[in-house]
Amino acid sequence: MDVIFVVEQLLNGLGQGLMLFLLAAGLTLVFGIMDTMNLAHGSLYMAGAYIAARAHQVGGNFVGAVLLAMAATALVAFIVELLVVRRLYRRDHLAQVIATFGLILIADDAVKAIWGPSPILAPTPAALAGPVQLLVELPYPAYRLVLLGVGLLVAVGLYLLVNHTRVGMLVRAGASNRAMAEFMGVRVDRVFSFVFALGAALAALAGALMGPISAVQIGMGEAILIPALVVIVIGGIGSVRGAFVAALLVGLVDTAGRAFLPPVLRAVLPPALAADLGPALAGIAVYALMAAVLIFKPAGLFPARA
């Protein structure tokens, strides 16, 4: 295990963490402001991946395809919010879980009807297909670098939006005390519609960017939803800053677990046991992290509500 390998894995972990952040940012705001658990957030990620992959194949323009995916997904989310999610704000979490689980079932069948049951190919844009020589001995895929760049850019943009604009102030007011914000004259439901669509666009962005390096298939939303929920719970529900820190933490722990645990175990345990135990521990690492955080900080690392 040399330094180059470690740096490469850390970069991978960072990239994965930033993509998780794109998903978790929308989820945590929806959860924080309206106290609404939206399981269907993963379906928006899936929608973004499918739309971008098909648009890229047909149109040949990657940036255009990603923007189209974001816009289309935000539009779908806006309609879904109007028809279903808006009616769930005042209900308990269980009702929200059941109804949004229903949305997942509908979304999966809709994707199957439109694009077929088998996974589709999301091409890597030709200009970014090769590696970039980061250091003399460290070639790194250009596409993954773009991922890192976009992720950081969005994180900074979101930070500015939430902390230094009027809209952001309303969002924060809604997240920390919705009733008080309403008494002060904030139209929290409008703020929420905006946040919901924004969250959907970010989820679609994550899906569109992850498409070329993961499988674009039905069920990808359900698979990514759980890590995203883990992130917002670790970070503290409603806190964008918490989601950012937790997303990087989860990305790094997950990648480090997969990359470094197996060799370490092979060095100290019999090979057969190490081969079984390595992947198990790597898969468990993230959940163990969350359980540990919840035991010591039951409201997450950065509780949004005092």
Which helix (H) or strand (E) segment holds residue 247: the answer is: helix 240-268
Nearer to another protein, 268 or 295 (CB): 295
Does residue 38 contact residue 104 with C-beta atoms inside 8 Å?
no
Question: What is the rounded distance in angstroms from the CA atom of residue 306 to the CA atom of residue 297?
Answer: 13
Shortest distance, position 208 Cβ to another protein, whole Å: 24
Q: Which residues contact another protein by CB under 8 A?
A: 31, 37, 39, 84, 87-88, 91, 93-95, 97-99, 101-106, 108-110, 112-113, 117, 222, 226, 229-230, 233, 237, 275-280, 283-284, 287-288, 290-291, 294-295, 298-299
Closer to another protein by CB, 205 or 229: give it.
229
Nearer to another protein (CB atom), residue 98 or residue 127: 98
What is the nearest approach in angstroms of another protein to the Cβ of residue 43?
A: 10
Retrieve residue 85's tokens.
Answer: 């999610």
Give the type of residue at 114. I
Q: Report how far residue 67's alpha carbon sits from residue 205's, in angstroms, rounded to the nearest whole number.
A: 8
Taking the complex as a whole, the smallest distance from the CB of residue 155 to another protein amounts, in Å, to 23
CB of 261 to another protein, least distance (A): 12
Identity of the residue, 143 or 196, whose beta carbon is nearer to another protein in the bound complex: 196
Which is closer to another protein, CB of 85 or CB of 203? 85
Q: How far is the CB of 232 from another protein (least distance, A)?
A: 9
The span from the CA of 173 to the CA of 60, in Å, is: 42
Reduce the DSSP state of residue 132 to 3 states and report it.
strand
Kind plus residue range of the DSSP H or E element containing 82? helix 62-83
110: Cβ–Cβ under 8 A, 6 or more apart, which residues?
none
